[in-house]
């Protein structure tokens, strides 16, 4: 790692789940942050407290609007491109917008980074591996993606964005990197976004059955949002171009996750099995050797502790 620090950062999708945590961490280091978000899936509430702090400016705009991105005042030394619907409920509801965010949105953010001489980091995803035939998934694995399936709007958006970043770096010398994020969870997730952790927590706290897809034997590797943010910023501060996997090391079945959440919430909820979505990955665990060796990063928050923190946040949000 180079130990670079940032005077002024642009976070696209900064009012989203991970984006808002990135904004907070950057403010903690003393930098100024412009949070750009069209609020199609993000929430102004995620950054409401941050707006009371010195250094954060919220701009409501669509990253696919080249003029809006180009017209942001001042100069950035870091651009984090996190603007894209990321949950199944969102990208299935907004398929064309999802594809636009990965294509035009990525191009606009790259052009702004190039114009400012800024470091650029693309938020890619474990979904580029599809329903993987290799386990655990290494960065040199090309993936097993259905290009016309229901998940393809997200998968292919991110795969194209990765290709665009790679080409931009080759043609223009843009200081750009790619991070592939796995199954991040934590406070500020939306209960109805379709991902397992917030869905199960909301159901358990409400005393409703936990809806487990298929037989629940499919696996995920959870990574608490604080650890994900640390990995993203470690990549930003390095000279690495990636892609680099950032994700949890502990693999758990979806059924065991549901049972654990019932236990941690003290809920009387039962498990209800529902149809498994098309192209739902059977196994998901990152090989994080590159992140350990090149960035000195590893997850620090055990998933049980992370779940307890997340449950506490949901419980407080419901009470409020």
Would you tell me how many other CB atoms lie within 10 Å of the CB of residue 18?
Answer: 23
Enclosing H/E stretch for 28: helix 17-28
Task: With respect to residue 101, please indicate whether it lies within any of the assigned structural domains.
Answer: yes
Least confidently predicted of 7-16, 169-178, 192-201: 192-201
Q: For residue 17, which phi and psi values (nearest 5 degrees)? A: -60, -65
Q: Note the pLDDT of residue 268.
A: 94
pLDDT of residue 318: 86
How much of the chain, in percent, has pLDDT values that exceed 70? 99
Q: What is the pLDDT of residue 36?
A: 98
Q: Is residue 108 part of a domain?
A: yes
pLDDT digits (tens, 9 = 90+) for 33-47: 999 999 999 999 999
Task: Kindly state whether residue 31 falls inside one of the protein's structural domains.
Answer: yes
pLDDT tens-digit profile of 272-305?
Answer: 999 988 878 888 899 999 999 999 999 999 989 9
**261-270 pLDDT tens trace:** 999 999 999 9
Examine residue 151 and state whether it is found in any structural domain, yes or no: yes
Residue 75 placed within a domain: yes
Portion of the chain with pLDDT greater than 90, in percent: 90
The residue-averaged pLDDT of 110-132 equals 96
Q: How far is CA 228 from the centre of its chain?
A: 8
- In the predicted structure, residue 1 carries a pLDDT above the cut 50: no
Mean pLDDT of the chain: 95
CA distance 7 to 253: 42
Catalytic residue among 129, 154, 185, 224: 154
- Is there a domain that residue 201 lies in? no
Burial grade of 305 (CB within 10 A; 0-12, 13-18, 19 or more): exposed
Residue 116: give its domain's CATH number.
3.40.50.720
The answer to whether residue 2 scores a pLDDT higher than 60 is: no
Instruction: Kindly tell me if the per-residue pLDDT of 125 is higher than 60.
Output: yes
The Cα 239–Cα 3 span in angstroms is 10
What pLDDT shows up at residue 309? 97
Angular region, 296: left φ>0, alpha ψ -120 to 50, beta rest: left
Mean pLDDT along residues 309-319: 93
Is residue 318 domain-resident? no
14's tokens? 């900064």
- What is the domain extent for residue 12? 8-186+223-249
Q: How many domains does the chain have?
A: 1
The whole-number pLDDT of residue 278 equals 84
Angle at CA 88, nearest 5°, toward 268 and 160? 150
Do 232 and 22 form a contact (C-beta atoms < 8 A)? yes
Q: What are the DSSP E strand ranges found in 13-55?
A: 32-37
154 assigned to active site? yes
Terminal CA-CA length for the chain:
41
What pLDDT, on the 0 to 100 scale, is given for residue 3?
61
- Give burial (CB, 10 Å; 0-12/13-18/19+) of 65: middle
Report the distance separating Cα 49 and Cα 244, nearest Å. Answer: 31
Distance of alpha carbon 179 from alpha carbon 224, whole angstroms:
16
* pLDDT at 259 exceeding the cut of 60: yes
The larger pLDDT score, comparing residue 194 to residue 167, is at 167
Compute the average pLDDT of residues 172-176. 98
Residues 6+ apart with CB under 8 A from 114: 168, 172, 174
Written as six digits, the tokens of 190 are: 């939306």
70 located within any domain: yes
The tens digit of pLDDT for each residue in 188-205 reads 999 888 899 999 999 999
Of the given ranges (10-19, 79-88, 90-99, 280-289), which has the lowest mean pLDDT?
A: 280-289
42, 19 Cβ separation under 8 angstroms: yes
Q: In 10 A of CB 135, how many CB atoms?
A: 15
pTM greater than 0.75 (yes/no):
yes
d(CA 47, CA 142): 36
């Amino acid at each position: 790692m180079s130990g670079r620090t940032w005077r002024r950062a642009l976070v696209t999708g900064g009012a989203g789940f991970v984006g808002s945590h990135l904004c907070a961490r950057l403010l903690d280091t003393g930098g100024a942050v412009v949070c750009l978000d069209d609020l199609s899936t993000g929430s102004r509430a995620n950054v409401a407290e941050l707006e009371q702090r010195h250094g954060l400016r919220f701009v409501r705009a669509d990253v696919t609007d080249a003029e809006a991105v180009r017209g942001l005042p001042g100069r950035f030394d870091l651009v984090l491109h996190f603007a894209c619907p990321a949950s199944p409920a969102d990208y299935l509801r907004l398929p064309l917008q999802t594809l636009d965010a990965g294509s035009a949105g990525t191009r606009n953010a790259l052009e702004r980074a190039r114009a400012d001489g800024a470091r650029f980091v693309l938020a890619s995803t474990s979904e580029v591996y599809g329903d993987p035939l290799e386990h655990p998934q290494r960065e040199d694995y090309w993936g097993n993606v259905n290009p016309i399936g229901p998940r393809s709007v997200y998968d292919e958006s991110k795969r194209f964005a990765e290709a665009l970043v790679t080409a931009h770096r080759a043609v223009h010398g843009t200081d750009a990197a790619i991070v592939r994020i796995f199954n991040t969870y934590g406070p500020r997730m939306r209960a109805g976004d379709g991902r397992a952790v917030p869905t199960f927590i909301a159901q358990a706290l409400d005393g409703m059955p936990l809806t487990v897809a298929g037989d629940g034997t499919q696996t995920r590797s959870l990574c608490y949002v604080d650890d994900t943010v640390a990995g993203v910023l470690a990549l930003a501060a390095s000279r690495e171009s990636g892609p680099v996997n950032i994700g949890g090391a502990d693999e758990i079945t979806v059924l065991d996750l549901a049972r654990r959440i019932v236990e941690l919430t003290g809920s009387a909820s039962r498990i209800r099995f529902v149809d498994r979505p098309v192209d739902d990955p059977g196994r998901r665990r990152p090989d994080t050797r590159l992140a350990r060796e090149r960035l000195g990063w590893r997850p620090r928050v055990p998933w049980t502790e992370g779940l307890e923190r997340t449950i506490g946040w949901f419980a407080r949000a419901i009470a409020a």
